[in-house]
């Protein structure tokens, strides 16, 4: 099975790191983000990887090459201009249209969730796309207290809000998705909403997994701390 990694963004919020290195090559706990992704995909026997590259693409190509040193095969599709997430997937249609099913993931996430659960769900529901969902983490610590007396009971540091789920940036898609994608634009705004209205998009919640998006300098620091802990596998 093949996976498309969207690796063409500018990573503006990670400057100055991304002035010289594209976001997928930012080092996090001894490995670039993209190497964490390759290691994770290989664990689930996904070793045919397409990299959608744009900004500083030569550095990604030089670092990853054919993929042989990682035990994978890599194909590149190039964005000559920023296309957005939907346009980037659409741009890879020529190498994915004949697949029965394929994965897509954002190039700035590190996770250990089981992507095969997306395959099971998409087949079970006869959907065109399945999205991995993770619980929303509060950006702040919260306080639990008695409503009547105001007595503070406990402090909870940045808990997961499990009644709310966010897009994890990991998708399993059928090639008919290309009929819904824009040539330019984000799939979250053009593509997925139409599929949802037609009942052809499903979500798979992952409550107890490691998942971290690397958007800011603080995210790099937090991801390094978590990856070096005993909780990650």
Whole-angstrom Cα distance, residue 50 to residue 3?
6
The Cα-based distances of 7 to 54, 68, 174, 203 in angstroms read 7, 19, 21, 23
The mean pLDDT value for 73-83 works out to: 91
Which are the contacts of 110, defined by CB distance < 8 A and separation ≥ 6? 28, 33, 36, 37, 40, 210, 211, 212, 214, 223, 227
pLDDT value of position 96: 95
Whole-angstrom Cα distance, residue 69 to residue 164?
40
Q: Judge whether residue 230 has pLDDT over 60.
A: no
Q: Are strands 152-156 and 2-7 parallel, antiparallel or unpaired?
A: unpaired
Whole-angstrom Cα distance, residue 22 to residue 7?
8
Give per-residue pLDDT as tens, 158-205. Answer: 778 878 899 999 999 999 999 999 999 999 999 999 999 999 999 999
pTM higher than 0.85 for the full model? yes
pLDDT value of position 202: 95
Give per-residue pLDDT as tens, 9-43. Answer: 776 777 787 778 888 998 998 899 999 999 999 99
Helix (H, G, I), strand (E, B) or coil at 43: helix
Give per-residue pLDDT as tens, 108-156. Answer: 999 999 999 999 999 999 999 999 999 988 878 888 888 888 788 888 8
E strands along the chain, which residues?
2-7, 27-28, 31-32, 48-53, 73-78, 102-106, 109-111, 129-137, 142-145, 152-156, 160-173, 201-205, 211-213
Confidence of residue 232 (pLDDT cuts 50, 70, 90): low
In CATH terms, the fold of domain 2-133+167-227 is Spore Coat Polysaccharide Biosynthesis Protein SpsA; Chain A (3.90.550)
- Could you say which of 158, 189, 198, 228 is catalytic? 158
Q: Is 158 assigned a catalytic role? A: yes
The Cα-based distances of 209 to 5, 39, 135, 195, 196 in angstroms read 20, 16, 10, 27, 25
């Amino acid at each position: 099975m093949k996976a498309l990694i969207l690796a063409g963004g500018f990573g503006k919020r990670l400057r100055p790191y991304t002035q010289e290195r594209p976001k997928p090559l930012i080092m996090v706990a001894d490995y670039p983000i993209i190497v964490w992704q390759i290691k994770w995909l290989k664990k689930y026997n996904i070793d045919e990887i397409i990299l959608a590259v744009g900004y500083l693409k030569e550095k990604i190509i030089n670092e990853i090459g054919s993929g042989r040193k990682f035990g994978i095969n890599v194909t590149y599709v190039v964005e000559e201009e920023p296309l957005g997430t939907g346009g980037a997937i659409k741009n890879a249609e020529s190498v994915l249209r004949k697949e029965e099913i394929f994965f897509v993931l954002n190039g700035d996430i590190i996770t250990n969730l089981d992507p095969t659960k997306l395959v099971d769900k998409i087949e079970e529901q006869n959907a065109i796309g399945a999205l991995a969902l993770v619980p929303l983490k509060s950006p702040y610590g919260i306080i639990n207290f008695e409503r009547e007396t105001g007595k503070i009971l406990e402090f909870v540091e940045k808990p997961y809000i499990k009644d709310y789920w966010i897009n994890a940036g990991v998708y399993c898609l059928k090639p008919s998705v290309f009929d819904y994608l824009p040539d330019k634009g984000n799939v979250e705004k053009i593509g997925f909403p139409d599929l949802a209205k037609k009942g052809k998009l499903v979500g798979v919640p992952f409550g107890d997994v490691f998942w971290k998006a690397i958007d800011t300098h603080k995210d790099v620091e937090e991801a390094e701390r978590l990856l070096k802990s005993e909780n990650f596998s």
